[in-house]
Amino acid sequence: IHRNIVELNCVIFNRWGKQVAEITAPDKFWDGKIGGANASDGTYFYILKAKGLDDVDYNLKGTISLIR
């Protein structure tokens, strides 16, 4: 949900640290694919930087579990 986000940069990495996706707009998302093919099940890591409508900067890091 991106109602209050005006700027976004989110980079997603696999468990070996290779970048697999980058999201640069609040209305975009990762579809769970790498190069057009379904990504393997597992844990992926993200680094997210965003700016809200309230001018607050957000810097988040965490994991995503991809389960098919």
What is the tens place of the pLDDT at every residue in 35-50?
Answer: 999 999 999 999 999 9
Q: Rounded CA gap, 36 and 62, in Å?
A: 24
The contacts of residue 56 (CB under 8 Å, 6+ apart) are none
Q: What is the pTM of this model?
A: 0.88
Strands (E), the chain: 5-13, 19-23, 33-34, 37-38, 42-52, 57-66
Average pLDDT over residues 8-30: 96
Which tokens belong to 31? 């579809």
Q: What is the CA radius of gyration of the chain?
A: 13
Q: 26-37 pLDDT, tens per residue?
A: 999 999 999 999
